[in-house]
Every structure is written in structure tokens, then in C-alpha cells.
Amino acid sequence: MANTSAQDAFVEFDHVQKSYDGETLVVKDLQLRIGKGEFLTMLGPSGSGKTTCLMMLAGFETATNGEIYLNRKPINNVAPHKRGIGMVFQNYALFPHMTVAENLAFPLQVRGLSKADQQAKVQRALDMVELSAMGGRRPAQLSGGQQQRVAVARALVFEPDLVLMDEPLGALDKQLREQMQYEIKHIHESLGVTVVYVTHDQSEALTMSDRIAVFNDGRIQQLSTPEALYERPENSFVAQFIGENNRIDGKIREIHGNACAVEIPGGLTVQATHVQGAGAGAPTTLSIRPERVLMSAGDQPVPGAIDGRIEELIYHGDHIRVRMSVAGNPNFVVKVTNRQGHQPLAEGSTVKVGWDPADCRALDPMSA
């Protein structure tokens, strides 16, 4: 993973704020350093400020306060066309009145390259996205996936150090989207460019990124590797937004270093990992991933087991989703792997569920 220490941050947002109407802040005090060659994804629901950040970096929006540095130079007052940043747009924005080759040659023409250089680079870019034979076609004559590749090629053809991608796969169907995720990832690895990628699709973010910045309400909620984000969410929003998550509201009883005891509805006390800064007596929301819940129907011991009633069984082939009522939460989901000899399950029966305290994180209380 790229090094992101202060001195070699390639892109830096320094206390950036953005307001459109002078009354509300869309981006609140953003601090973000992106290393050279890194693939960083801005992930968040719509309206979370991620696209605004990208547009400020591209130069189409100006920061209301704070400074953005590119390669250690402030770029707030640099016009977009002088920033040398490649960009892939949500709907590709391929120029409809030009052929594919003309689209790719456009950034080279405006840079005053010779005709021969242009041709060589366009050809190389077309080869890279495996569309060598399509140079003479109009964008409208290409399929969605092909247009997408042309858009990527166009953003890379003038060899920028930084490429921005604004939900580039949003318009593709699921299968094509997955294929393009790998292609973009491979291009990133082979060229070593820095990529800032915006999406609201968490699986896209998890598979492609070096690091993910989860945006909500104009702030970065958590900035970590995909693995850390999924395994160790730092607040309820991240736990809820990334992957599937079971919640149990409770109150902290005692804290022992990293661990804590939490009282849950029904008067029981369970062990969890203490994450938020709150002390004993504070309300908390426990977060457990469905695949980390242990279940025992009979006498098998489960640590800290509590009772759960099976409400519904949903067959998924490789696994079975079990919806249960646990500690007052009627939507507590457990994934049971469909392997030979797994325990028999029946709707309406009561079983013991439990978890390793390391898998259960006591986060900030979630009101909703």
C-alpha cells in the first residue's frame, strides 16, 4: 500500500469546506492525504459530499475555505484545463460528434502534439482497452461497456498522474460492472497512476481500493483499508453502510482495557470490544456481522450465549439466512454455511446464539 505520510502526499485536502448557499456546509472540514500511485475510493450515500470533493479536485467547484494541494502545489486558483487531471464521468461524456479515435486524440491535440505522436498514443490507448478496431466508430455505435473503456482510455491517453472517476460503472449491468472493476484495477496496477474513485456501491469500493474514505454528512467517517473497514468499523454508520450488520442497543456496564461488558434488553450482559470513547453507563450500539454469529441448537457450548427465536429461513444455495429475534431485535440475521451436517433449523424454534467478543463491537449509539 502506498505511503501516505505528510511529506509525500500527492493530493492533499487541507481543512477544506464547501458551501453552495452560504447556510449549510456540504463538505465539513475535510482532511485527506492521498499517496502517489494509490487507489482511493470515496464511498458514501448520495448527498454525502463525495462528488463535491471530486469536483473541487477537478476544478469544477471552488473550495469555500481551505486549500487543495496537488503535488505540493496549491491548486485552488488553477483552471481545470491546467491541472492535468484525467477524469472519467458517470455517463462517459464521450463527444458524440467525434469518432472514438478523435475523442482520444482530443486531449493530445489541445496539447499541441504532432500528428504522428497523436496517432501512436491513440493506438496504444486503444490497444490497452482492447478496442483497436473501433477507432473509426462513433460513440453511439458502441456498447455501454465499450464506451466505458473508451472513456477510461481518453482519461489516460495524455498520461496524467492523477485520474478521477465519478461513478464510472453506474450505468452498466451487474456482470459487466464486475468485469470492468477488474479491468480498471489492472490498468491502475500496470500504469501506476493515482486514482480517486467515487462510488456509492460498497462492493465496488471493497474490491478495487487501496483505501476507502467513507463519507457521510460532509465528513469522512472512516478512512482505512477495505479489510479494516469491514472488520473494524469505528462507528455505527460505517458498520451499517459497509456490508451486512446486526445491531443490538445496550448500555456499557464495565470497561476492561479493550473489552467491555454491555447490558442488553432482557437484562443480560454480553462481552464486546470497546471502540468508542464513552465510559461506563453510556448507551451503545453493538455491531455483529451475520457470518460471525455462532449458533448452537443443542448442548454445544457457545461463549456468552443468549436465546434467539428463529423467525424465518431463506435458502440461498451456498448459505441459509436465518432471521431471528434476539434481544428485542426482530431482524437479527445469521448466515449458516450450507455444509454437510449443519445443524437442523426450524422456524419457530429457539436456539442459543453467541459470538467471540472480538467480533462484537460496541459503537456509538444509533438512534434510528
Please state the closest distance from residue 57 (CB atom) to another protein, in A: 11
CB of 95 to another protein, least distance (A): 6
Amino acid at 359: D
- CA distances to 35, 55, 82, 103, 252 from 59, rounded to whole Å, are 20, 6, 9, 21, 47
C-beta closer to another protein: residue 4 or 147: 147
Picking from 169, 251, 234, the residue whose alpha carbon sits closest to that of residue 208 is 169
Q: Which stretch binds another protein (CB under 8 A): 74-82, 187-195, 222-230, 263-271?
A: 74-82
According to CB under 8 A, which one of 15, 72, 81, 342 is a site residue for another protein?
81
Task: Find where cell 445443524 sits.
Answer: 343
- For another protein, what does the binding mask look like between residues 35 and 64, x meaning CB under 8 A? -----------------------xxx----
Rg of the chain in Å (alpha carbons): 25
Residue 104 or 262 with smaller CB distance to another protein:
104
Q: Which residues contact 165 (CB under 8 A, 6 or more apart)?
A: 87, 88, 155, 184, 195, 196, 197, 198
Determine the 3-state secondary structure of 352 from DSSP.
strand
Classify the phi-psi angles of 27: left when phi > 0, otherwise alpha if psi is within -120 to 50, otherwise beta: beta
Q: Smallest distance from the beta carbon of 105 to another protein, in angstroms?
A: 10
* 107 part of the interface to another protein, by CB under 8 A: yes
- Should residue 233 be labelled a site residue for another protein when binding is judged by CB under 8 A? no
Q: Is residue 170 involved in binding another protein (CB under 8 A)?
A: no
Cβ closer to another protein: 109 or 343? 109
Site residue total, another protein (CB under 8 A): 28
In the complex, minimum distance from the CB of residue 89 to another protein, in angstroms, rounded to a whole number: 5
73 in contact with another protein (CB under 8 A): no
Is residue 93 part of the contact set for another protein (CB under 8 A)?
A: yes
- Asked if 240 and 290 count as a contact pair (C-beta separation under 8 A), the reply is no
CB of 106 to another protein, least distance (A): 6
What is the DSSP secondary structure assignment for residue 286, as one 8-state letter?
Answer: E
At 342, list the grid cell.
449443519
Q: Which residues does 295 contact at the CB level (< 8 Å), separation at least 6? A: 302, 308, 322, 334, 336, 343, 351, 352, 353
Q: d(Cα 200, Cα 206) in Å, to the nearest integer?
A: 11
Place of cell 467491555: 260
CA angle 300, 303, 308 (to 5 degrees): 75
Q: Is 95 in the site for another protein (CB under 8 A)?
A: yes
Q: Which is nearer to another protein, 154 or 335 (CB)?
A: 154
Rule CB under 8 A: choose which of 86, 226, 233, 290 binds another protein: 86
CA atoms within 13 Å, Cβ hemisphere of 205: 31
Choose, by CB under 8 A, the member of 66, 144, 158, 178 that binds another protein. Answer: 158
Which of these segments, 2-10, 95-103, 211-219, 341-349, binds another protein (CB under 8 A)?
95-103
Distance between the two ends of the chain, CA-based, in angstroms?
36
Among 3-11, 79-87, 192-200, 219-227, the segment contacting another protein (CB under 8 A):
79-87
- Shortest separation between residue 295's beta carbon and another protein, angstroms: 50
The distance of Cα 363 from the centroid of its chain, to the nearest Å, equals: 20
* Interacting residues with another protein (CB under 8 A): 58-60, 79-87, 89-91, 93-97, 106-107, 110-111, 154-155, 158, 164
